[in-house]
Structure 1
Amino acid sequence: MLKQELKVMSTTITLKQLPAIEITSDNFKPYGQLIIPSKDGKIYDETDAQLNLANGIPRFYIMHLKKRGRQFNHITRHGQCTQCLGSLEGKEWLMAFAPPENKNYPDIMQLKAFKIPGNCFIKLEVGTWHAGPHFDHDFVDFYNLELSDTNVIDHFTYNFNEQDHLRFEIVL
């Protein structure tokens, strides 16, 4: 990761570049599952999203996000459910992840960014730290599967600026 420094209210914030890698089922495994198209009629197996939505009412909706850029200073996790995200209209997007941990902070040494094509979706394991979605498009619509109250009672955020004086930029 390359470093760059920014001055913010007399505190130096270090900007670290996080290279985005192409997502594969194998390299994404510590964070969740990559779900790719399969033939109609395929029997359910381990390649299908292994969901945990037992702790509430599932919510499946389309999330409209406007230009987000590639920088972030917050990362979030959900401890009650898995979460699925995918873009509509085939738009490529970026997201950063740290493995699920039973801690109040992510493992920065395991923080990775992925380039995610628009013809698949991701399923995050319970507790996976995630920052994004990020993209350069004017907007992207995402389908999102989580619990109806995930963003109310199951939304734990870690602030890299406040805790570590860090900000990240996903680079291609």
Structure 2
Amino acid sequence: MTQSTLQTLKIEAITGENFAPYGDLVLPSQDGKPFDETDAKLDLSQGTPRFYIMQLQKRGKRFHKITRHQLCTQCLGALEGKSWLLAVAPPSSNSKPDVSQLKAFQIPGNCFIKLHKGTWHAGPYFEEDEIINFYNLELSDTNEVDHFSYDFLTEENLIWEMTT
């Protein structure tokens, strides 16, 4: 068996502007603020929305699978103010993500992200030894009927590592 190639992906601090091709960054706002361009633009019209807390254990900074959901937007955020990592590539009609646009972001624990429909994503990732709780808003059957993955290891013998 041949040894896999390790490809690095530089971690960027997330901003609304640099995350725009992949989704929305939603920051805290005053209660009662009217809906505007700073809010998440959700599309959960293709089924029953599911909002839940998922518990994840230490996941490190390496990945070889990346997934997309084409029927709905997805929102992710960490509870307890924890920072985390996410790798993303923009939506496309291809069965493989465009690695020239693959980015890794560090997401602080005081906000959440909304992924555009079809955005390729790997994560959440983090290196803490403790369990971190993440809230997730998607459709009730997203993981059964709208879960399309690309495996870099199987297809290209490649593993990605997010680095600072």
Q: Does 1:110 align with 2:66?
A: no
**Equivalent position to 1:167, from 127, 138, 159:** 159
Deviation per residue, 1:15-41 (Å, 9 max, x gap): 011110000000000000000000111
Aligned position for 2:45 = 54
2:4 and 2:100 mapped to 1: Cα distance? 18
Residue 70 of structure 2 is aligned to residue 79 of structure 1: yes
1:140-151 alignment to 2 at 5 Å? 140-151=132-143
Per-residue deviation at 1:165? 1.4
User: How far is the alpha carbon of 1:137 from its aligned partner?
Assistant: 1.3
Unaligned runs of 5+ residues in structure 1 are 1-9
Aligned to 1:134: 125
1:155 aligns with 2:163: no
Aligned: 1:92 with 2:112: no
3-state SS, counterpart of residue 45 of structure 1 = coil
Which amino acid letter does the alignment assign opposite residue 73 of structure 1? H
Matched to 1:143, the amino acid is Y
**Other-structure match for 1:4:** none
What is the CA-CA distance between 1:12 and the residue it aligns to?
2.9
**TM (normalized to structure 1)?**
0.93
Q: Give the equivalent residue in structure 2 for 1:7.
A: none
Identity of aligned residues (%): 60
Query: How far apart in 1 are the matches of 2:120 and 2:78?
Result: 19
Q: Distance in 1 between matches of 2:12 and 2:25?
A: 14
Cα distance, 1:158 vs. partner? 0.2
Task: Give TM-score scaled by structure 2 length.
Answer: 0.98
Q: Deviations over 1:40-87 (max 9, x none)?
A: 110011211100000000000000000111100000000000000000
Does residue 119 of structure 1 match 2:119? no
Tell me which amino acid in the other structure corresponds to 1:78.
Answer: H
CA distance in 1, matches of 2:82, 2:33: 26
Q: Which has the higher strand share?
A: 1
Aligned-residue RMSD, C-alpha: 0.6
CA–CA distance in 1 between the matches of 2:2 and 2:93? 29
